[in-house]
Structure 1
Amino acid sequence: MSQAIERFFESLPARAPEVLRGLVSGTLQIDLTTGGLTEHWLVRMRPGAVAVGRERGPADAIWYSSAELFERLVTGQAQGVAAVLRNESTFSGNVVLFLAFRRFFPNPPGTRDPREAARRQTGRLA
């Protein structure tokens, strides 16, 4: 497994209070494949908190992805929803967990908030 993926999962508990502000609660299993090998990550989410483990377990949802695609996701070079829609990865179970989890991924390089761009256009920088 790449260091970027390892660091991403290690960072989740510290980032959870800012990312998981809603009432999302449940367990997401993420299965990452490289060749014939599959690594499992179990992410237990609740409002403002995340616990991460390296095991399979009972889960409310399962996300299947290649490790290569997941590394692109954690580095902002790909988008999770787009990958699922293009069938580059698959998902089953409670879709709300997937939608909440994807907020941990960084935006692509050069992405700007459209509200900020509109403020600059109108001359308001507040």
Structure 2
Amino acid sequence: MTEATQRFFESLPERAPTVLRGLVAGTLQIDLGTGHQTEHWLVRMRPGAVESSRERGPAYAVWYSSSTLFDRLITGEAQALAAVLRNESTFSGDVVLLLAFRRFFPDPPGTRDPCEVAREAVGRRS
């Protein structure tokens, strides 16, 4: 596991109030593979709160990713849903948990808010 991954999971509880504003609740097990080793994270989500631990356990959903891909996700260089659709990672269970969890990942570098882009375009026409 990389230091960036460790910091990412440690930051979840602090960031949860702004990221998890909906009614999502459940447990997501994240399995990160490196070679023949798999590291497990259990993420318990509820509105405005997250708890994460380094364990396996009963979960409503399981997401497998390589450690390398996960490092790209936490820097915004890759997107979680695109990785699942391209079969770069696998997911089973309650998809709402993945959709909620992906909000913790940053936007790709250089991404701009569409509203900001539209305001600038309107300003140029004036």
Q: Tell me which interval the TM-score lies in, with the shorter structure as reference length.
A: over 0.9
Counterpart for residue 65 of structure 1? 65
* 1:65-101 per-position Cα deviation (integer Å, ceiling 9, x unaligned): 0000000000111000000000000000000000000
**Mapped partners of 1:40, 1:52: distance in 2:** 10
The residue matched to 1:50 in structure 2 has which SS?
strand
Do the aligned partners of 1:4 and 1:75 also contact (CA within 8 Å) in 2? no
After TM superposition, give the deviation of residue 115 of structure 1 in Å: 1.1
The reply to whether residue 80 of structure 1 matches residue 119 of structure 2 is no
After TM superposition, give the deviation of residue 5 of structure 1 in Å: 0.5
Counterpart for residue 51 of structure 1? 51
Query: Number of paired residues?
Result: 124
Q: Which runs of 5+ in 2 are unaligned?
A: none
Counterpart for residue 16 of structure 1? 16
Alignment-mate amino acid for residue 11 of structure 2:
S
Q: Identity of aligned pairs, percent?
A: 76
**Mapped partners of 2:95, 2:65: distance in 1:** 15
The residue matched to 1:100 in structure 2 has which SS?
helix
- Written as runs of structure 1 = structure 2, the 5 A alignment for 1:23-34 is 23-34=23-34
TM-score, scaled relative to structure 1: 0.97
The residue matched to 1:64 in structure 2 has which SS?
strand
**Mapped partners of 1:2, 1:52: distance in 2:** 16
Query: RMSD of the TM alignment (CA)?
Result: 0.9
